[in-house]
Amino acid sequence: MANDPKKSHFETDVIHAGQSPEPRTGAVMVPVFQTSTYVQDGPGGHKGYEYARTQNPTREALEASLAALENGTFAVATSSGCAATTNILHLLKAGDHVVSSDDVYGGTYRLFTRVFAQLGIDFTFVDLTSASRLDEAMRPNTKLVWLETPTNPLLKILDIEELSKRAHRRGASGALGETGATVVVDNTFLSPALQRPLELGADLVVHSTTKYLGGHSDVVGGVIVGKTKEHHEQLRYLQNAIGAVPGPWDCFLVLRGIKTLAVRMQRHDENGRALAAWLEKHPKVERVIYPGIPSHPGHAVQSRQAKGAGGMISFIIKGGLEESRRFLTTTKLFACAESLGGVESLIEHPAIMTHASIPADVRKSLGISDGLIRLSVGIEHVDDLRADLETAFAAV
């Protein structure tokens, strides 16, 4: 690669970091190494590759790219975002305690409360928009602090730098013996194009590469990015032992998507800001939740720690469940579907769809009401998106 990714700009890194031309043929794009095993000259006489669960050149290129984009020293790719979360939680043992932001992806909440809680790991869910609440929640056996910012689906903003300082200052030794608790940030909603948690003090960053990194709604994957040798060794071991690895074609698709990440995120952010400002003035909207507008309580923190607010908008429509259903079944450009981060716009109802695994009483306490609608704003022309939403409002 001509440029050192540590010295080049992000827009250059997304195209070149970890993606040098293939040395044997000169192929510009990293090839899909579709193989399950590798020939050896004799027992142990391999060329650095033994078995594709353990090593694959396409996966290695993806990991190198993502490590550079998040300004980490390593990345561990997994078969999904939930698999990435699972690998991280396997750093812990029975009796350990985790503090998690209260508003998290429904799949994360399910993993925490219905899988790992049964293995003896204790979880406390806290509204961490006030960093002092972390001090109150931490215990002598707190080993991990799990953050989402913006959170899903209420788009709360958490101060990564301040929370990381507090987590490292208090609690038990982390999963690998470092000072304080290990801080993990789910950066899926913003991607490294808009936010880099490792630079703000976090220890690990997790992504569903299904979302903005892949960007085209055609692949499922996950990744963990970190900084320390200890984390790298532990997570690489778990990647191989658990075996939830992405296939080479999945890795190729994410690499393909990453090349346009910078320009896509710029458009997602522009469209998100324009639609949020318009929705805030709409007579049929009770409340707009978007960190890029001044009315959001976390706007100042978001402006300080990120380069943009992205394309995720939540809003509460006036009325209730029936109005929400009618709205979601009327849009045309905004497709009613789970997931997010693709070039096309999506719309969903968190209480029924992405967060249905969270108990109704917990959803209610968080503010995930029947009138809450979540938009994943794509990169279409904003006038067409606005017109599509206006048509749906007219049907309510």
Token pair in block for residue 365: 């306490």
The rounded distance, in Å, linking the Cα atoms of 317 and 251 is 39
End-to-end CA distance of the chain: 54
Percentages of the chain per state (helix, strand, coil), in multiples of 5: 35, 15, 45
The dihedral through the CA atoms of 231, 233, 236, 237 has a sign that is negative
The rounded distance, in Å, linking the Cα atoms of 170 and 179 is 8
The rounded distance, in Å, linking the Cα atoms of 198 and 211 is 20
Residues taking part in catalysis: 53, 105, 186, 211
Residue carrying structure tokens 């009483």: 361
The rounded distance, in Å, linking the Cα atoms of 103 and 111 is 14
Token pair in block for residue 103: 């508003």
Question: Which residues are within 8 A (CB) of 227 and not within 5 positions of it... i.e. 6 or more apart?
Answer: 72, 73, 74, 198, 203
